[in-house]
Chain A
Amino acid sequence: MRNMTLAARAELSRRGFLKTSGALIVGFSVAGEFAEAQFGNAPVTGSPPPNQVDSWIAIGADGSVTAYSGKEELGQGISTAQAQLVAEELSVPFHRVKLIYCDTAFTPDQAYTSGSQSHPANFNHGNLAQAGATAREALFRMASQHFGLPVEQLTASDGVISLKSDPSKKVTYAQLVGGKKFNLALDPNAKRKDPKEWTVLGKPIPSPDLPAIATGRFEYVHNVRVPGMLHGKVVRPPAVGATVMSVDESSVKDVPGLVKIVVRKNFVGVVAEKPWQAIQAANKLKVTWTPGAGLPAQAEFYNHVRTLPKRDAFLVDSGDVEKKLGEAAAVVKATYLHPYQMHGSVGSSCAVADVQSDKATLWSPTQGVWYQKSTVAMILGLKPENVRVIFRRGSGCYGLNGADTVTYDAAILSQAVGKPVRVQLMRKDEMAWENFGPVFVMDERAGLDAQGNIVAWDHEAWTPGLGNRPGTSSPGNVVTGFLAGFEPDPFAPRSPAPAPTAFNNNSNGVPSYLAGRVGGAAKGTGSVTGERVLVHNVLSPFWTGPLRSPARLQNTFAHESFMDELAAHAKADPVEYRLRHLSHPRVRDAVMAAAKAANWKSRPSPINATPANRRTGVATGRGLACVAYEGDNGYAAMVVEVEVDQDTGKIAVKRIVVSTDAGPISNPDGLRNQMEGGALQGMSRALGEEVTWDDQKVTSFDWRTYHSLPLGFAIPKVETVLINRPDEEATGAGETTITIIAPAIGNAIFDATGARLRQIPFTPERVKAALAARA
């Protein structure tokens, strides 16, 4: 059954969770429930049929192999791994495989490239992997006919099939099928290569894009140039909720090169011949806006969200949590707070659109070319079949950054002038208006028995959402679509929550230590049977959407910090205490592997639990956190060692040891790169990143006001421990380590000082406040 879970999930992600589950109404971002899987993702017409080998693989007359994928390269390394996969299944050298991904005119519709779904989607039982295996068996059958010998007597290497008994007797793939179609359906029984036989997969092959990137030759979407192309800039409202009253075109009449002012409802933009002219026009254009709608005070926001109309959902409810808490020897409570954070791509988002009277071509860094195809068609009033979206790599996105919205900007401006238009957002246009990773307010309660074992765990979370990925039909889920007149998906309050009908821990709302009993079966990764997880979705004043490890990261911050509090209450070693309540072997192994590599010494936290411990100067400590990502899509644990300057409140992370189990390792160096980057990006989010606002507008809109760790910070030692599982399913790997670093740091701070951090980011002020609050 495990084998079905991820393949089935990938299929759900493809088809859209809503359509298959029937459990949710269309619409509002239920980040606490199924943040990545719940879009209206009906396949968009016009893509090659995914059940045909020819949709995925073509062998050229020269023996070259072209592979087509619907999962794109965002910097996460999946293009290299996919080319390795095809080379492996077809027994050709890596460099002979050309991978084409995410062009709506050519490649299979694989929905979004998101949510740690590419590795499971294309490396398990269907799609690209199965196309490769099917093609390989077909080539063997053709060779068998060619030689008049059974396939058992043949062997393949380097794109050549030869006789095992006489290697001089051979036939090339090009001779067998070069330049022709396979005309063959994907065979679910085609046998994949055994990982033990891998010669290309499983190897640390570097990205073939690296030389071009390092020497400034790589074509990002920012470098796409189309003949006759003009340059557009947008003029966003000065305040959230402000609408256009009037636009004074005479204010820019002196700007050279200006082509057109474009106003569509509350969307305002300019088009000019050159980028600098467009920037000057956008800056000078006099637009009169209504006042903003007003924003709730940031200082009170975490309390404010508790008071809003809510849509409730239970992820698990054993029905006896209150009774068990009442009978417990001790009850521990804590509240954890996570701010809005942003994707903050280093390059602000860019797209090029060429809209002609009845058709459009777009070069976009979107994670979902098919959804851009259908929603751009809606915005432009074109037939979807007349819209082509070509993915071009942008700056790393980490989720729904400005990629979709800037594609709409370019489309609207290009249509208005009837010429190709390139739009690159200015920094503020992106940072003040992107779909932020949402706030989470999380109450944790647990009951312990006399031995300190957990008998009941209650998690209740509030999270505000507005908009989301656009899906097939909601361009109003991002700012440009909304300004141009489309509504975001509606919000439908619902309380009380219905009883859960199926266990789904996609959001990691359910702590790893719970049994996950829904409908009789226990599908969680832990042993605690007194369990309740209740999520309240409320409306956000800002756009929200998936940001690397959406909801999983916030929930895991609370769960893993709280687990540490429970271990401390029980005076137990945090590793031993976790293992005591974890039943799933893979997350247990991840914990033990990280602890072993970090030379973890068993003892309770904090390190000096006596009142005589030092209260000033630098204190050192270690902390651990772990996750079963999305319940079953990757396993990781991390040990962090920190120094806490108790006088300044500054945190210095000195060492990170992180283990990851993502199934069979497709590319160990690619995996390490993701683990290292995830850990440090998570560290930046944990220590400094927070969206801020005043009563009208977002006030964190550049790198002075939104605090990302630069390259120049004292980088901790990062040690990666890879757990290879050749006999298991491929899982996601890009979001596991970022999910666990904030609690690992917080737990290390507690270990060092006895002070507990419950609010992200761990700024020096918050650390000092927590230190001052120590008993």
Chain B
Amino acid sequence: MSAITLKVNGVAHALDLDPTTPLLYALSDDLEMRGPKFGCGLGQCGACTVIVKGQAIRSCITPVKSVEGADITTLEGLGTVEKPHPLQQAFIDESAAQCGFCVNGVIMTAKAFLDKNPKATDAEIEQALSTVLCRCFTHVRMHRAIQKYAKAVAK
């Protein structure tokens, strides 16, 4: 165990962790955050995605030591129930969820991609989501929500 400081959504947290601990467990268990989720633990599905230095990363395979001191943004950091981020609002407006478990990975992956590529085409957005899974297959609505947001961003 060692002292590790994680900066999550602008707040620094001093934690006592095994430095090999994947970031996801620090976020969901030590900090009790509900945005990033354990889907596969293998970096294959996207449910655990957070944004670090502008990049969407899979927190389930990222050791905490490697992101110490970096700005980490989770789904909670984008917006709140009362004041959602426009991309979150698009998901709400389009009812773009069924069970909703994958929504974290979809929104965080799309957010990081569109931040860097605000004029991305629909095909490029699809490509960016090529390793994110939604097993309810709410794909139609999710893409509609992302495209709606992307169009607003591109303006």
Contacts and interface: CB of A to CB of B under 8 A. Distances in A.
A677 B97 CA distance: 10
Given A673-B95, A710-B131, A718-B140, A215 B84 contact: yes
Interface string B74-100: 111011110011001101100101111
Contacts of B129: 710-712
Nearest to A277: B18
Given A215-B79, A703-B45, A715-B140, A395 B98 contact: no
Contacts of B92: 206, 210-211, 214
Contacts of B134: 346, 711
Interface stretch (A8-16, A218-226, A440-448, A476-484): A218-226
B37 A703 contact: no
B99 A74 contact: yes
Contacts of B32: 223, 225
A209 B104 CA distance: 14
A396 to B, nearest CB: 3
A678 B32 CA distance: 33
A207 B95 contact: yes
B34 A223 contact: yes
Interface string B1-44: 10000000000000000101110010011001111111111101
Interface in B120-137: 126-137
A393 B99 contact: yes
B101 A220 contact: yes
Contacts of A775: none
A763 interface: no
A103 interface: no
A222 B75 contact: no
Given A214-B88, A216-B104, A256 B130 contact: no
Interface residues of A, number: 65
B51 interface: no
B91 A348 contact: no
Contact of B101 (A207, A395, A680): A395
A219 to B, nearest CB: 7
Nearest to B90: A214
Given A75-B98, A76-B98, A344-B135, A214 B103 contact: yes
A220 B34 contact: yes
B41 to A, nearest CB: 6
Contact of A711 (B25, B37, B89, B106): B106
A217 interface: yes
Interface string A549-577: 00000000000000000000000000000
A553 to B, nearest CB: 15
Contacts of B98: 75-77, 396, 673-674, 677
B100, B131, B138, most chain A CB atoms within 10 A: B100
A212 B81 contact: yes
B1 to A, nearest CB: 7
Q: In which size bucket is the chain B interface?
A: 35 or more
B57 interface: no
Given A215-B75, A215-B76, A396-B135, A710 B130 contact: yes
Specify which of B20, B29, B75, B97 lies most central, judged by the most chain A CB atoms within 10 Å of its CB.
B97
Contact of A677 (B107, B133, B137): B137
Given A276-B21, A676-B141, A715-B143, A398 B40 contact: no
Interface of A, secondary structure class, is: loop
A231 B1 CA distance: 17
B140 A676 contact: yes
B21 A347 contact: no
Nearest to A430: B40
Contact of B97 (A210, A220, A223): A210
A708 B45 CA distance: 10
B81 A211 contact: yes
A225 to B, nearest CB: 6
A344 B136 CA distance: 10
B112 interface: no
A222 B38 CA distance: 8
Given A210-B92, A710-B131, A216 B137 contact: no
Contact of B135 (A77, A398, A427, A678): A398
Given A210-B97, A211-B92, A216-B33, A396 B136 contact: yes
B135 A345 contact: yes
Interface string B133-155: 11111111111000000000000
A669 B136 contact: no
Interface in A678-711: 678-681, 683-684, 702-704, 708-711
A216 B74 contact: yes
A389 to B, nearest CB: 20
A346 B38 CA distance: 9
Top 8 A-B pairs, shortest CB-CB distance: A216-B35, A75-B99, A712-B130, A216-B75, A396-B99, A680-B137, A213-B100, A75-B98
Interface of B: 1, 18, 20-22, 25, 28-29, 32-42, 44-45, 47, 74-76, 78-81, 84-85, 88-89, 91-92, 95, 97-104, 106-107, 126-143
13 contacts: A75-B136, A77-B98, A214-B97, A256-B18, A276-B21, A276-B22, A398-B135, A676-B139, A677-B136, A681-B135, A702-B42, A711-B133, A715-B139
Given A209-B100, A703-B44, 16 more contacts: A75-B97, A206-B95, A214-B103, A215-B35, A215-B80, A347-B37, A348-B39, A396-B98, A426-B41, A677-B98, A684-B137, A702-B40, A702-B44, A711-B129, A711-B142, A713-B130
Interface of A: 74-77, 206-207, 209-220, 222-223, 225, 231, 256, 274-277, 279, 344-348, 350, 393-396, 398, 424, 426-427, 669, 673-674, 676-681, 683-684, 702-704, 708-715, 718
